[in-house]
Amino acid sequence: MTLPKMMTIGTLAAGYEAGTLTPLDVIEAVIGRIQSWPDPAVWISRFSDDELRAAAKALMAAGGPSPDKPLWGIPFAVKDNIDCAGLETTAACPAFAYRPAQDATVVARLRAAGAIPVGKTNLDQFATGLNGTRSPYGAPRSVFDADYISGGSSSGSAVAVGAGIVAFSLGTDTAGSGRVPASFNNLVGVKPSKGMFSTTGLVPACRSLDCISVFAATAGEADFVRRVAAGLDPADPFSRDLPDVVLPTEGLRVGVPVGAEREFFGDAANEAIYVAAIEAMKALGCSIVEIDFAPFREAANLLYSGPWVAERLAAVEAFHAAHADAMDPNVRKIVEGALGVTAVDAFRGLYALEGFRQKTAATWAMVDILLLPTTPLFPKVSDMLADPIGLNSKLGRYTNFVNLMDCAGIAVPAGFRPDGLPFGVTLIGPAFSDAALAVWGDRLHKAAATGYGLDTTADLSAMPAPEGPQVERIEVVVVGAHLSGMPLNPQLTGGGGVLVKRCRTASDYRLYALPGTVPPKPGLLHSPGFDGPGLEVEVWALPPAAFGRFVAAIPAPLGIGKVTLDDGSDVSGFLCEPHALEGAAEITALGGWRAYCAAK
């Protein structure tokens, strides 16, 4: 089997299943692609060719693909601030290098799932930067043009995937390092919720904010890796394991910056693609809500201009004290900005952040997610070297706030500029909305039809969609005062309910306006043999406990029974006792409660 230009988890798994491919075949291809790739700055270290072959042979000898090894034979790369047993961890600083005794928890989970680590990739030193030029091992370049940066700090990890050398990679993301490189290499970058991935075995940048991240070809594959790697780790004090947050599967409310807050620093090409992404979300059935982005931007400034810079010094304090001259000058300058920060400054920073949280609460009440440019600019390496601090700050305009605000994010390709360079956008949601974000990120990526990595013509429609949130929920059909925007809808949203879809009942239902109800309510009646227009309804989903409380509070003569929808499915929903409809006005011909309310 000849491997395609891009390695994907799905392609390799299909080859293994069909018996046309073995892990040894794949590793030979990986070795060949590493040797032929023209950019020597991608890797800091890697396993020898013979070690990689031995790993593939050992995997094959232990048995073939199985449910307990969902990543069997899949090659991946590891950012070199994450421990991988058998290779040094350098954090892109040779004087800092050490040889770990064991894998980082995330790497160990991926190996246990059958994945094969290939090597350690380059990064902005100590994961400090968004550009990929702050490393003594060189500056990895965008896979589309060697004059342009690959993005940082997870530079090598993104290039290794974008070039088709490995199927996925691990990066990290404190300020945007798992999203910016995705944009510059036509990839998906998943920044998980804080604490979802263990950081045991990670050289910290800002320990309270750090996230290990994933680069992959599609949202489905990136989210698949996320599911394998995630999980509570008692050894990590910042580890969290919380239920999935559900987002609407239809009618998503999407926040976008308004006015001057939509800043591209004169880059009209990126702005045009962003506007097109907004239109694509509209076409997917989303409603666009313009928001004041200023509180998010001001919160982002705290990361480098506030006391959180002291956390970067805390991560390398002993090394800095002994070897400051071994650090990259720009990284050292940023870290030493913490030397004058006091405990009082730290508390003031916390107070300021909580103030910004309060200011953004009203925005989150209006929207389900944010849709932002991943970056406003796409600089050349020469431009970045000429203005390393200023341009880096501009790159983080839409990324730096996300971990401070405890959000999840997924960066997806959105299109290509006239010069052929890629541009991406990021979907940002509440903590632990990762699975739901992946669903929408996948839809947007497929609408953009950018392919992935260097394979810009790949057929995304054939790629599996993410699974979506793995939560137990019960669906309920509402027909009247509980519809979106109606007086009783907060009874659903307040219980964690999400809108699943808008549809109609089957044709054999009648609708009546119930007299004397407050607020006004309709009564839905099943009338076998009746052939009507079908009635406008919404299907909502509630957690089981919330569903129980909701049903218990329904007043007579209404109750819950099975309602047949226009697609033939039967879902629990509101029905009315027939005796209550005596003397009630039938409004079936209007087609639904909204039409009746509008006609009154």
Please tell me the distance from the alpha carbon of residue 124 to that of residue 138, in angstroms, as a whole number.
Answer: 10
Among residues 135, 142, 153, 157, the one annotated as catalytic is 153
Phi, psi angles (nearest 5°) of residue 499: -75, 125
Q: Compute the Cα dihedral for 179, 462, 538, 541 and give only its sign.
A: negative
Closest CA to 105 of 136, 66, 135, 78: 78
What burial class does residue 250 get, using C-beta atoms within 10 Å of its C-beta: 0-12 exposed, 13-18 middle, 19+ buried? Answer: middle
- DSSP for residue 95: G
Please tell me the distance from the alpha carbon of residue 371 to that of residue 426, in angstroms, as a whole number.
Answer: 6
Side-chain-side CA neighbours of 501 within 13 Å: the count stands at: 8
Inter-helix orientation angle 294-305/343-366, to 10°:
160
79 classed as catalytic: yes
Please tell me the distance from the alpha carbon of residue 371 to that of residue 313, in angstroms, as a whole number.
Answer: 32
461 classed as catalytic: no
Please tell me the distance from the alpha carbon of residue 425 to that of residue 431, in angstroms, as a whole number.
Answer: 19
Structure tokens at 348: 């003031």
Among residues 142, 155, 177, 198, the one annotated as catalytic is 177
177 classed as catalytic: yes
Q: Are 255 and 371 in contact (CB under 8 A)?
A: yes
Please tell me the distance from the alpha carbon of residue 154 to that of residue 459, in angstroms, as a whole number.
Answer: 27
Please tell me the distance from the alpha carbon of residue 357 to that of residue 370, in angstroms, as a whole number.
Answer: 15
Closest CA to 349 of 408, 298, 290, 422: 298
Please tell me the distance from the alpha carbon of residue 556 to that of residue 409, in angstroms, as a whole number.
Answer: 44
Q: Are 549 and 495 in contact (CB under 8 A)?
A: yes
Element (H, E) at 53: helix 49-61
DSSP, residue by residue, 355-389? HHHHHHHHHHHH-SEEEEES-S---BHHHHHHSHH
CB atoms closer than 10 angstroms to residue 566: 13
Q: Are 498 and 246 in contact (CB under 8 A)?
A: yes
Please tell me the distance from the alpha carbon of residue 521 to that of residue 537, in angstroms, as a whole number.
Answer: 13
Q: Are 137 and 129 in contact (CB under 8 A)?
A: no
Please tell me the distance from the alpha carbon of residue 35 to that of residue 27, in angstroms, as a whole number.
Answer: 12
Closest CA to 438 of 423, 450, 428, 448: 428
Closest CA to 304 of 330, 279, 337, 275: 337
Span between the terminal Cα atoms of the chain, in Å: 67
Return the active site residues.
79, 153, 177
